[in-house]
Amino acid sequence: MRILVVEDDPRIHKSLVEDLRRQHYTVDVVEDGLTGLDFARTAAHDVILLDILLPGLDGFELCRRLRSEKSKALILMITARAAVGDKVRALDAGADDYVVKPFDLAELSARIRAVSRRHGAVPEAIVEQGRLRIDPSRQLVTYGAEPVPLTSTEYTILQTLMRSPLQVFSHQMLREKIRNFRDEGDRDSIRTHIANLRRKLRIAGAIRDPIENVYGIGYRLAELDS
């Protein structure tokens, strides 16, 4: 499942995004409404977690615009505004649920699962490259018949590379994907995670190096054994 978090307070979105990525969700995060609208229009997000008080474009208007454009994403408002009138306004704008800050991360995760069940959200598609396979609904990575045990950060990096196999990802791009995992996003750690991914995939049976170094730029998925 791919989730977009539109929240301008880093004290909130840092822990929220970290928790969601630990659950192996693919998460994008932006801090203003106009950027959030652009992200929602250009990427297929299953769920949008949307603050109301945002710079550029408030959450009510962002939600209305997405619904007028027939967006099928599930929208959960996350806001400090607890008044009944605000809840009614959010639901009338097209929100599927309304969560008042401060919220418990476990409760929010349960809300995401519940609203997904109610609306029959389609599970995130299985991704395959050669013999390498990621099943997001089961949070399972396999190479051939062999399971590949990965940390949350390794999983996020591998999923990023597999979803765009022709794209070269710089250290900065990968840091953005795994940011909020405390200090795991620095350059040396990216190298360490890539090395661990290579090692684990070789143990599972990969003959060729599954991750290609593009000199001076970054990494991309190599052509894998079929």
* pLDDT tens figures, 32-72: 999 999 999 877 788 999 999 999 999 999 999 999 999 98
pLDDT at residue 188, rounded to an integer: 61
pLDDT at residue 8, rounded to an integer: 92
pLDDT surpasses 70 at 171: yes
pLDDT surpasses 80 at 123: no
Helix (H) or strand (E) holding 226: none
**3-state per-residue secondary structure call for 143-164:** ECCEECCCCHHHHHHHHHHHHC
pLDDT surpasses 80 at 219: yes
Contact yes or no for 212/194 (Cβ under 8 A): no
HSE-CB at 26 with a 13 A cutoff on CA atoms is 21
Domain ranges of the chain: 2-118, 127-221
Contact yes or no for 2/25 (Cβ under 8 A): yes
Identical fold at 2-118 and 127-221? Answer: no
pLDDT surpasses 90 at 7: yes
Which CATH code, of 1.10.340.30, 1.10.10.10, 1.10.287.3510, 3.40.50.300, is assigned to 127-221? 1.10.10.10
Pairing of strands 146-147, 140-143: antiparallel
pLDDT surpasses 60 at 185: no
pLDDT surpasses 60 at 121: no
Say whether 64 sits in a helix, a strand or coil: helix
Residue % of the chain over a pLDDT of 90: 39
Mean pLDDT of 64-84: 91
Which CATH code, of 3.30.365.10, 3.20.20.105, 3.10.310.30, 3.40.50.2300, is assigned to 2-118? 3.40.50.2300
Model pTM?
Answer: 0.58
- End-to-end CA, the chain: 26
pLDDT at residue 165, rounded to an integer: 81
